[in-house]
A and B are shown apart, each in its own frame.
Chain A
Amino acid sequence: MTATLPVKPELVCPAGTPAALRTAVDAGAENVYCGYQNATNARNFAGLNFTPDEMAQGIRYAHDRGAKVLITLNTFPPAGRVDLWTEMADLSARLGADACIVADIAVADHIRRRHPQMRIHLSVQAAASSPEAIAWYVREFDVKRVVLPRIMTVSEIKGLVDEIPCEVETFIFGNHGLMVEGRCSLTAYVTGQSTNMDGACSPAACVAYDQQEDGRLATRLGGVMIDRFAPHETAGYPTICKGRYLSEARDGGYYAFEEPVSLNAATMLPELIRAGVHAFKIEGRQRSRAYVRKVVAAFREAVDTVMAGDEPKLADLVALTEGQKHTEGALKSKTWR
């Protein structure tokens, strides 16, 4: 198995706070991705993310230890507001960030013209999954890496790697969105805030939990009940896509879009590495540093073990997964659900 192994993939790890960034670096991340405290990033949650000073310190901490910092500018500026995104791109260049993760072509164009030395990684939010689309981004903006949507099988990824002129990054752990990324308007429909333009899917200010007398837990978003968990049932995030709904066509509530479940591609690491994937992404900037430490350390060991030609001993990460359930998702089969 080792004779034909390609280059060792980098681990791309989440950080919602400076403490999480340091934790990710210390746990073995080659790349840490993080964003500013505004709508330019897709985890624009209350109390999360970095001030410019914190970002500067985080970049220094990572660089001193041989790690890179990728800055998420991965939302879409509404008309007339692109200045905020370009200002954050300029700031990132001044701070010495190693790359910007970009979804919008105006932002990509600005970086390419003003900061030609800055690497551009194409965000999963751009939902580029065909060789033609990715080649266009590479040609027009010199994109160095594409983060693939979570809708592709390993064999599709392998075919893509052989056809496109840039690095490929795939998600291996964390939140598992069924929809084509960057095009989901479910939160906006209920809360008026856009995941893709405001950066907040199910903003906490719109979420309410009701622990009921009978032990059930009711979850509401914008006043709309989206699930009610039985007393002994594991819970999920309060997102519309993971909601359970009543329908005349079904008995009881059912998950119309997606069940509360996390992606966990741990068992597929050897296949993904053989497919030529350049970087593995762990989702979870909204999670704690305990999550970052456990997940990064587990995948650090697993990747190193595979690269050494051995079978990885995979830590049990199920306790950290949404609904305490995990899936290999579309990586294994298009009919996974």
Chain B
Amino acid sequence: MTSQPDPHATGRARGPMPFLPPPPLFLLKPLLARIVRKVAAQNPGMFARLGPHAHEHFLIDPVDMPFMLHLRPDPDALDFRAVGRRGAPPPHVARISGTFLNLFTLMDAEQDGDALFFSRDLIVTGDTEAVVCLRNALDDVDEPIAHTVAALFGPPGRLALEALRRAADTARRRTEEAHP
């Protein structure tokens, strides 16, 4: 439990899995584009939950990674890309910040966003309604997004998913031990 997501608090400054370096931005670009196209194709109904906010720009900030994620969940102009931390972030209506593993557990449908907000492990600023719509749209997909992403990469993807789950579980237990 922290005042704001603090990557240094539980030794996570080097990312979710310290034994693996974060991927460089140029590798992330095609990867993220593929992921967002797949999720959109599998869940065309999710955009209705976004209502007027489908055209908005969101900034998703995994605070312990060297990049942020820019998302425009517009079915006619999908955009999901990594942006560096140098300079001003791209224009956005709302920013969602948390550790990579906490954001991962939301996408794995293993964690509740309100609970992370209560514990101050998730920070939301900007247009609250846009964020609520995005949260509800992502929570209503048939298959949790983390599963969809893992399936894109076959057996290595599933291994990575399991490794991230173990890392998230370890981080959760450490936090509970630190704040019983």
How far does the alpha carbon of A20 sit from the alpha carbon of B49 in the complex, in Å? 14
Residues of chain B within 8 A (CB-CB) of A203 are 129
Give the most central of B1, B49, B114, B131: most A CB within 10 Å: B114
Interface string of A172-213 (1 = CB under 8 A from B): 000000000000000000000000000000011101111100
B48 to chain A, nearest CB (A): 8
Q: Answer whether A291 and B115 are a contact pair too, CB < 8 Å, given A46-B51, A46-B136, A47-B50.
A: yes
Residues of chain B within 8 A (CB-CB) of A204 are 128-129, 131-132
In the complex, the answer to whether A47 meets B132 with C-beta atoms within 8 Å is yes
Is there a chain B Cβ closer than 8 Å to A149's Cβ?
A: no
Residues of chain A within 8 A (CB-CB) of B129 are 46, 203-205, 207
Interface string of B132-151 (1 = CB under 8 A from A): 11111101111000000000
Residues of B within 8 A of A (CB): 1-4, 48-51, 106, 109-115, 117-120, 123-125, 128-129, 131-137, 139-142
Residues of chain B within 8 A (CB-CB) of A207 are 128-129
How far does the alpha carbon of A45 sit from the alpha carbon of B49 in the complex, in Å? 11
In the complex, the answer to whether B112 meets A287 with C-beta atoms within 8 Å is yes
In the complex, the answer to whether B1 meets A234 with C-beta atoms within 8 Å is yes
Q: Of the candidates A19, A211, A231, A237, which one forms a contact with B123 in the assembled complex, judged by CB atoms under 8 Å apart?
A: A211
In the complex, the answer to whether A288 meets B1 with C-beta atoms within 8 Å is no
A225-241 CB contacts (< 8 Å) to partner B: 229-237
In the complex, the answer to whether B118 meets A47 with C-beta atoms within 8 Å is no
Q: Is the interface of B mostly helix, strand, loop or mixed?
A: helix
A49 to chain B, nearest CB (A): 9
In the complex, the answer to whether A324 meets B118 with C-beta atoms within 8 Å is yes
In the complex, the answer to whether A319 meets B136 with C-beta atoms within 8 Å is no
Q: Of the candidates A16, A17, A231, A236, which one forms a contact with B118 in the assembled complex, judged by CB atoms under 8 Å apart?
A: A236
A149 to chain B, nearest CB (A): 23
How far does the alpha carbon of A136 sit from the alpha carbon of B118 in the complex, in Å? 41
Q: Which 7 A-B pairs have the closest CB atoms?
A: A231-B3, A47-B136, A47-B133, A215-B3, A17-B140, A204-B129, A291-B112
Question: Between A and B, how many residue pairs show CB distances below 8 Å?
Answer: 111
In the complex, the answer to whether A215 meets B139 with C-beta atoms within 8 Å is no
How far does the alpha carbon of A18 sit from the alpha carbon of B140 in the complex, in Å? 7
In the complex, the answer to whether A215 meets B128 with C-beta atoms within 8 Å is no
Is there a chain B Cβ closer than 8 Å to A166's Cβ?
A: no
How far does the alpha carbon of A18 sit from the alpha carbon of B45 in the complex, in Å? 11
Q: Of the candidates B106, B119, B131, which one forms a contact with A234 in the assembled complex, judged by CB atoms under 8 Å apart?
A: B119
In the complex, the answer to whether A235 meets B141 with C-beta atoms within 8 Å is no
B85 to chain A, nearest CB (A): 17
In the complex, the answer to whether A322 meets B118 with C-beta atoms within 8 Å is yes
Residues of chain A within 8 A (CB-CB) of B135 are 47, 288
Q: Of the candidates A19, A45, A235, A291, which one forms a contact with B142 in the assembled complex, judged by CB atoms under 8 Å apart?
A: A19
A-B contacts, 16 of them at CB < 8 A, read: A17-B139, A47-B136, A51-B48, A211-B123, A211-B125, A217-B3, A217-B123, A229-B120, A231-B2, A232-B3, A232-B120, A234-B119, A234-B120, A236-B118, A319-B119, A322-B118
Is there a chain B Cβ closer than 8 Å to A323's Cβ?
A: yes
Closest residue of chain A to B117 (Cβ to Cβ) is A235
